[in-house]
Amino acid sequence: MSRAGLLSIEDLGRQGIVEILHLADSFAEVSERSIPKVPALRGKTVATVFFESSTRTRLSFEAAAKRLSADTMTFTAATSSVTKGESLRDTVETIDALGVDVMVVRHGSSGAPAQVARWVEAYVVNAGDGQHEHPTQALLDCFTLREAMARRAGADPVDDLAGVRIAIVGDVRHSRVARSCVLAFRALGARVVLVGPPTLLPPTTEGWGVEVVHDLDTALDEVDVCYLLRLQSERLREALLPSLGEYSERYGLTRERARRLDPDLLVMHPGPMIRGVEIAAEIASSPRSLVTRQVHNGVAVRMAVLFRLLAGDLRAPFPGMPAGAGAVEPAVRVTGGARSG
Ligand code: NCD
């Protein structure tokens, strides 16, 4: 049996997402302390295993592991024996043999983390695989949106995003973030519209449960949130775009477009942002932008994921996987300290 970990938002379902959000609430509180650290995962080891570049995702997982007092290991393909021809299987089996509890895997091929999970003993967390999924990005986006909605309502965060309308704009076709976000936003009750030129939208969206619109201005009139995607230039194999300038004019949140926006419209971006292409610099740093909150909240959300996998040595951590895991009481475990073994 594969005891995989977190490979897709589908491993969680609505109940699993809500559980992670609640746990992340507790860890967000830990992050505000003068010493933002709890001993919850003392004795555990988390390895980040990245075959593609990353700034925020890797640093965020490492910060999360450290705040839970886990040990960390860092593998970067560019400085490893992969450059000497070592295979993916040999590489991850080697890391596994060092005795790690979680491997956080990023890879350019869709499905690579699932394959790794079949080879190793450690839990695998998908930190972005090709054009497939990036589940922890979607979780931190749900957390951030829920926080922003609560702040606006002057109330505590609620569990769902019911009634929230979200436009996901740009290169949806090549975006793993978009796939995970559609699944997560919809699971929490939000309405999602995909916006982009036909060449940058998936060939079919049947079963996605989303609307598709090709005109950004029409979409922006009807949504609460504009979620911009980076153009995945490393995955754009054919000439799918006339020019960056034309793309920006039609699908970028330009300064001119921003002047016409509803003052309440929120803007999100998973980063890295290409300022001047999908987003004007001043919008990225304006009060309507949640970009910094997204990065900030990523640590608490990833603490929640690591904790949910490892605390109590769960073997079936998420709904949808075989039973065997007891309910986790976040408050008790977070403040109660380490469970070694
Ligand atoms: C994304 C990724 O790598 O999938 N970035 C991230 O993890 N925050 C999005 C992107 O590269 O465009």
Which is nearest to 311 in space by CA: 46, 109, 134? 46
Distances (CA, A) of 34 to 30, 63, 72, 337: 9, 15, 22, 17
Q: Which 3 state secondary structure label does DSSP give 71? A: strand
Quick one: pLDDT at residue 339?
Answer: 30
330 within some domain:
no
Q: By the 8 A CB rule, do 96 and 122 touch?
A: yes
Q: Is 324 left (phi over 0), alpha (psi -120 to 50) or beta?
A: left
Output the CA 271–ligand 1 centroid distance in Å: 6
Residue 279 maps to a domain: yes
Q: Indicate whether 161 belongs to any domain.
A: yes
Q: What is the CATH number of the domain that holds 269?
A: 3.40.50.1370
Asked if residue 204 has pLDDT above 60, the reply is yes
Q: Which atom of ligand 1 is nearest to the CA of 134?
A: 4
Does residue 139 share a domain with residue 125?
A: no
Among 319, 333, 315, CA closest to 123: 315
Q: Is the pLDDT of residue 317 over 80?
A: no
Q: Is 271 in the pocket of ligand 1 (CB under 6 A)?
A: yes
Question: Are residues 280 and 188 located together in one domain of the fold?
Answer: yes
Which domain range does residue 165 map to? 135-290
Residues 144 and 286 reside in one and the same domain: yes
E strand spans, 77-229: 102-107, 123-129, 165-169, 191-195, 211-213, 225-228
CB-count burial class (<10 Å; 0-12, 13-18, 19+) for 162:
exposed
Write the pLDDT tens digit of every residue in 37-95: 999 999 999 999 999 999 999 999 999 999 999 999 999 998 888 888 889 999 999 99
Both 278 and 158 in one domain: the answer is yes
User: Which token pair is 122?
Assistant: 């450690």
Instruction: Categorise residue 214: left if φ over 0, alpha if ψ from -120 to 50, beta otherwise.
Output: alpha
Asked whether residue 341 is domain-assigned, the answer is no
- For residue 318, the model assigns a pLDDT of 55
98 with 196, same domain: the answer is no
User: Into how many domains does the chain fold?
Assistant: 2
Taking the centre of ligand 1 as the mean of its atom positions, its distance from the CA of residue 177, in whole angstroms, is: 7
- Is the beta carbon of 134 within 6 A of some atom in ligand 1? yes
Q: How far is the CA of 166 from the centre of ligand 1 (A)?
A: 19
C-alpha 324 – ligand 1 centre gap (Å): 33
Is residue 254 a part of any domain in this protein?
yes
Same domain, 103 and 43: yes
Question: SS3 for 201?
Answer: coil
Q: Are residues 143 and 122 in the same domain?
A: no
What's the longest Cα–Cα distance across the chain? 57
Check whether residue 206 and residue 249 sit in a common domain. yes
| Cβ neighbours for 104, distance < 8 A, ≥ 6 positions apart | 46, 47, 48, 49, 58, 61, 124, 125, 127
Q: How many CA atoms, within 13 angstroms, populate the side-chain half-sphere of residue 151?
A: 12
Q: Is residue 326 part of a domain?
A: no
Of 132-136, 143-147, 334-338, minimum mean pLDDT range: 334-338
Question: How far does residue 336's CA lie from ligand 1's centre (Å)?
Answer: 34
- Looking at the fold, whether 111 and 142 belong to one and the same domain comes out as no
Tell whether 148 and 82 lie within a shared domain: no
Q: Report the mean per-residue pLDDT for the chain.
A: 89
- Is residue 335 a part of any domain in this protein? no
Mutate to test the pocket of ligand 1, among 53, 56, 134 (most ligand atoms within 8 A of CB): 134
Is it the case that residue 2 has pLDDT exceeding 70?
no
Residue 327 inside a domain? The answer is no
H or E segment to which residue 138 belongs? helix 135-153
Both 116 and 191 in one domain: the answer is: no
pLDDT, one tens digit per residue, over 147-186 is: 999 999 999 999 999 999 999 999 999 999 999 999 999 9
Q: Which residue from 48, 19, 75, 106 is spatially nearest to 311, judged by alpha carbons?
A: 19
